[in-house]
Structure 1
Amino acid sequence: MLTILAQVLALIAAWYAADRAAAWLHLPFSGGVVGLLVMVALLLSGALRPAAVEQGADWLLSNMLLFFIPLVVSVVQFTDLLKSDGLRLFAAIGLGFISVLLATAFTVEWVCRLERGRRLRRLRSERAA
């Protein structure tokens, strides 16, 4: 349990650092995107092993539904806004959701292909030796 807590805290600290860096550098995208890019770079370079964050990331993913409770509460509080601009809001949310979903899917696919290529090259070099 302490391992999971330490990994979750490390992931939160990494997100916070990336968010502050994005704000400080006046980047046109969020700290979450910066954090994702840094995390992918660290994992691909071998500077960070997947086991160092795996349990914490699994815990965060398994409890992700809890992070949406404030959204549901705010929807209940702003029913007048939903009546007047609900269609535009849902379209914007839908487009944002689809964009994040596609970006995540393509990033995961890209990283998996890179990792498969790395393993294949390593196996070929081991067989050649």
Structure 2
Amino acid sequence: MKRLLSTVAQVLLLIAAWYGADRAASWLGLPFSGGIVGLLAMVALLLSGAVRPAAVEHGAEWLLSNMLLFFIPLVVSVVQFTGLLKSEGLRLFAAIGLGFIAVLLATAFTVEWVCRLDRGRRLRRLRVQRKGATA
């Protein structure tokens, strides 16, 4: 029961963070979505140590494991707008494909950047420990 309450609280925290980032992006008139602002804010909070990964881990896992449910409205919309798909389908799929590739690349580069930061931090810590042991 404790894990369930913890997961629900984490999901609510992630939703609140997304909502706040979405409102901030709209208020500032940014040319990208609040989800991107939220992602950047969450990465910054995790890297700075202000938010520990354990504080959002179960909620994030739950959201990811149920992600397919969030696409059901999209599939229903596609079925309702077959005429639009016939006339503009190629352009829509090209835009979706380019968006997918952009998100894929941004995610890959972000993960690589965070891994390099983490490796550098560990290496510096190891060097300091070795200097302390030899001194």
Normalising TM by the smaller chain, what interval?
over 0.9
Pairwise CA RMSD = 1.0
1:101 pairs with 2:104: yes
- Deviation at residue 127 of structure 1 after TM alignment: 2.3
User: Which residue number corresponds to residue 67 of structure 1?
Assistant: 70
Q: Which runs of structure 2 are paired with 1:1-129 in the superposition (5 Å)?
A: 1-129=4-132
Name the % identity: 84
Could you tell which deviates more after superposition, 78-87 or 111-120? 111-120
1:34 partner amino acid:
V
The one-character-per-residue Cα deviations of 1:103-126 (angstroms, maximum 9, x if unpaired) are 111111111111121122112212
1:56 partner amino acid:
G
* Structure 2 unpaired stretches of 5+: none
TM-score by length of 1: 0.95
Number of residue pairs matched?
A: 129
* Structure 1 unpaired stretches of 5+: none
TM-score by length of 2: 0.91
Structure 1's consecutive aligned runs of 4 or more residues displaced over 4 angstroms after TM superposition are: none
SS at match of 2:51: coil
* Bigger CA radius of gyration: 2
